[in-house]
Structure 1
């Protein structure tokens, strides 16, 4: 490991915020808090996340010259423990990359974890803008780190809809179309054996009711008072179960995810 990386993984203070109680399935897989430790005094060092017992830690290091990021997973606290696995996260294109504040300890003879990496993209445009975050679970077992699941977990967009006073009157002052998306990934507690399964539930809303990025907002006509609500989009508010597919060695949903790029592609 280079001296620069060693500097980034110096031990943080042993103090940490209280961890939330773990969620366990019947097979013994556990979802636990994975909190960032307080800064360790090393200027520019990325946050170090650890489990409450410090048995597992992880850190994302960014190479500012190459615009790339790397995930390091530790079985213990650095610098006393060197990374047991690492994964190049590729070009970040100035995206915001951070660790998921939860970790999954995988039950079995060989210790392993699933560490989450959140990638947030954002954009701005005349009179509006938006951002979206996708979560990728990375399995770290032995010296191998592999992405095994990716799902959208948040999205928020505002698109300008008023261009003159007539539009303002027709829209009753609601001069932006607004889109909101949220997804929760949790451990499936009914898993009785083998790798963990995950339940994924989303909620998507559009404001005003009936707003669509595929339509011209100025062509809708005058909005009614009843339109001025955030309406749930049933197509993009859904539930899925992700299970490990032995053939691909990656997680797959029990049915395909719908196209919700209206909410998750700024």
Structure 2
């Protein structure tokens, strides 16, 4: 239940200024790149990082939504399909500087048991959640290495930590994301690049509508009787992580609503 908590002051400016002077409107303005930015956690993260003082470059498939968000925030919009190598290559080639990468693009499809699982759904989930993170991270790693204080934040899920009924394909994909993120942290040890993973629980965004292929009633039932997290809650986590002193790496963060203690242990209020 990714897609997407510590309070942050939106008036605070970024307290670290990477010295890289690669292409940017202002050599002193750090650049943050956000994938899956057209809605939910991605869009909220664009808003919060823009307020924090970053020049944000955002990518997603729905360019019309990005353009509206660019008008609102001053962020730079580029089309990006993380499942397409050519799209990722073009996106990364357009970025001259990257101090923060937020790997947010992802999602779930269906909730079928393994016995009747649709293999195409599993392939699609691995492509966007796992290979999408791999493609974008590989493409921007040279830019991240040019920063004196870079951070990679990947939005995982409670599904990366705890298998649950109906989550076979998504569990498998998000567990793979967790392994990828951990190995990246090991590989970059000693370099000035922090690697972090945020694992949200129930966050009310478009996530469940997409998972259930537009079935709004089924999506609404996921959040019935609870107060779920919001996209802004997770975006605040991102801004808090990237604004820590350079030596502080928030290795992982599990974020749940008060009404949830595990993937399927949820307190629901009755009317």
- Is the shorter-chain TM-score for this pair beyond 0.5, marking a shared fold? no
Which one has more relative contact order, counting CA pairs under 8 Å at least 6 apart?
2
Greater per-residue strand proportion = 1
Larger Cα-atom Rg: 1
Greater per-residue helix proportion = 2
TM-score, normalised relative to structure 2: 0.28
